[in-house]
Amino acid sequence: MQRTEIINLASSLAKSYCLPPPARQARGRAGVYTGSGSGSSIDFHDFREYQPGDDLRRIDWRAYARNGSMMLKLYREEVSPLVEIIVDLSSSMSLHPAKEQGAIFLLAFLAGTLRNTESRPVLVCGKKRFTGGAFEEELLRLNFDDNEDFSTHQPLINNSLRFVISDFLFEEKLDHCLQTHCAGSAATCNLMLLSKSEKSPELFGGYRLTNCENPSERSDLRINHSLIEAYRQRLDKHQAHIAETSFRCGGRLAELITPDKAFTTDSANEIINALLMQEVVAIA
């Protein structure tokens, strides 16, 4: 499946979904989500003393009748949150074709979903940011060959909603990376994108395993069931660590599985189902 087809598929599927309300109020332009400041929604927010120039219609006359002070009723503002989508461009993301295609689909799907809620997604690729039309164009030419530090990118916007798309299959600076992505955000959702063989390896026999991001790291192993089981246990432990670290930073982890070779419509539906199940998106 070509990348254009994947983007079109994601855009068409995203029409039926939207972002669930963020747990913490985010900043942004007027929109449909409750913001962190006072606004014009119908949800009561706070009281404050009247100041000249305030709208007289919001004076709480009952309070004035009780104690003679002029108190003003404040209501929640409604915003369209600012969403930053941070994508891991390391070569491990393109280790399997379907994994790379899954990442593209996920980016396009999230962008489409966000547009349904009048949000403007920002694609953060390393030190570059893309928004609007540039977002779509960047999806077409995105290359997963950047082996730079995943945590090194442009400063992120405070109180933005963040989606981090990566496989998180690294140990070094993992905590730093998670903390950086969560710091100052309204909410951070780490989307752990794994291929099927990474989630459940099917290697048996003698293999010389080489780290795709660092070919000098090799290991000759005779892989058997016990080694596979040990791999799974380490992966579970790794995921638990990511989830715990994310939680401490105010974020969370969602796992998405892609096939190894061919990314199909079924694969897209599986990713969407996983997003729904883990409440990353909701049905519009």
Contact set with other proteins (CB under 8 A): 92, 95, 167, 169-171, 198, 203-213, 216-227, 230-231, 234-235, 238
Integer Cα distance of 84 and 212 in angstroms: 27
Q: Report which of 155, 156, 167 is spatially closest to residue 192, judged by C-alpha positions.
A: 167
- Residues paired with 197 in a beta bridge: none
Closest distance to other proteins from the beta carbon of 210 (Å): 5
Q: Give 40 or 200: the residue with its C-beta nearer to other proteins.
A: 200
CB of 6 to other proteins, least distance (A): 21
Q: Specify the residue for token string 């799974």.
A: 232
Q: How far is the CB of 12 from other proteins (least distance, A)?
A: 30
CB of 2 to other proteins, least distance (A): 24
Query: Within a 10 A sphere around the Cβ of 138, how many other Cβ atoms?
Result: 17
Nearer to other proteins, 212 or 274 (CB): 212
CA dihedral (109, 114, 115, 120) positive or negative: negative
Q: Which is nearer to other proteins, 79 or 194 (CB)?
A: 194
The least distance separating other proteins from the CB of residue 85, rounded to whole angstroms, comes to 21
Nearer to other proteins, 15 or 234 (CB): 234
Closer residue to other proteins, CB minimum distance, 29 or 218: 218
Nearer to other proteins, 29 or 234 (CB): 234
Distance (Å) of CA 195 to CA 102, 143, 159: 9, 18, 31
- d(CA 178, CA 257) in angstroms, rounded, equals 20
Report the candidate in 146, 144, 138 with the shortest Cα–Cα distance to residue 122. Answer: 138
The CA-based dihedral angle spanning residues 111, 99, 101, 213, taken in that order and rounded to the nearest 10 degrees: 90
Element spanning 272, H or E: helix 265-277
3-state DSSP assignment of residue 65: helix
Q: Which two tokens stand for residue 206?
A: 């003698």
Q: To the nearest whole angstrom, how small is the minimum distance from the Cβ of residue 278 to other proteins?
A: 21
Among residues 201 and 250, whose Cβ is nearest to other proteins? Answer: 201
Give min distance, CB of 126 to other proteins, in A: 19
Q: How far is CA 134 from the centre of its chain?
A: 19
